[in-house]
Amino acid sequence: MVRGTQRSLIQPRLPANCSIKVAEQVALAAACFTAAQAAGGSGFIACFVGGLLLSGFGERHKKELLRGAEHTGEALALLTWVVFGGIVVARLIDRVTWPALLYAVLSLTLVRMLPVLLCLIGTRTSTADKLFIGWFGPRGLATIVFAVLVLDEQLPGNDTIMLAAGWTVLLSVIAHGVTANLLVKRMAGHSSAEAEDGARATR
C-alpha cells in the first residue's frame, strides 16, 4: 500500500496535481492508522513507518507535499478544537471536581515541566528557555487523541480519566492562550539582547 502510494506521489506531474497528491498522502496516513489499530497494533507507529517509507522523494517534491499535508492537518486540528469547545466543555463544567482540577494544574506544571528540565540538564539551554519549553511543551491535541483511545478500550475508571484529561486540555487552552503572546515577545526581546551582547563582544 505504501509503495503503491509512493510511486503515485513521485510522478513527474506532481505540481499540476498537488492537491490530489496531498489527498493521497493524508489517506495513506489514515489507512496506516486504521489498519494497525484493527490488527491490535499502534496506529501512531504505523503512520511513522509509513512516513519513513515515503521519504525517498526529491527535496522539491517533499516540500510541496509536506506543505499541503501541513495545511490539511491544521484544518483538521481546528475542527477538533471546535468539537471540543462545542460539545466537551459543556459536559466538563457540569462535572467539575476538585481532584480533577488539581490534577490538571499539576499536569500543566510539575508533571510536564519537571521531565523537560531533567532532559535538558547538561545542555547549554538557558533556564528561561528550559522553562519556556516546559510550559509550552506537547499539549492539547495529543491529550485528546490518547484520551479517545483510552475511551475506546472501556477501561475501569474511564469517566475519571476522561474528566482529568478534559480539564487538563481546557486549562491548557486558557493558560497557554493567555500567556503565549506575552512570553513569546519576552523571549524574543531576550534573544535580541543576547545577540547584541554577542556582537559587541566580538568587536
Tens of pLDDT, residues 14-54: 444 555 566 777 787 888 888 988 898 888 888 888 878 77
Helix, strand and coil content of the chain, in percent to the nearest 5, comes to: 85, 0, 15
Residue 84 makes CB contacts below 8 A (sequence gap 6+) with 144, 169
Position with higher pLDDT, 16 vs 71: 71
Q: Which conformational region is residue 195 in: left (phi greater than 0), alpha (psi within -120 to 50 degrees), or beta?
A: alpha
Distance, in Å, from the CA atom of 80 to the CA atom of 172, rounded to the nearest integer, reads 15
Secondary structure (DSSP) of 15-36: GGGHHHHHHHHHHHHHHHHHHH
Distance, in Å, from the CA atom of 103 to the CA atom of 49, rounded to the nearest integer, reads 34
Residue 196 makes CB contacts below 8 A (sequence gap 6+) with none
Q: Is the dihedral of CA 128, 130, 134, 138 positive or negative?
A: positive
Query: How far is CA 83 from its chain centroid?
Result: 17
Identify the pLDDT of residue 10: 46
- Residue whose C-alpha is closest to residue 166's, from 90, 52, 75: 90
Distance, in Å, from the CA atom of 147 to the CA atom of 158, rounded to the nearest integer, reads 9
pLDDT digits (tens, 9 = 90+) for 123-170: 988 888 899 999 987 667 778 777 777 777 778 888 888 888 888 888
DSSP tally for the chain: helices H, then strands E: 10, 0
Give the three cell numbers for residue 61: 517534491
Position with higher pLDDT, 112 vs 146: 112
Q: How confident is the model at residue 13 (pLDDT cuts 50, 70, 90)?
A: very low
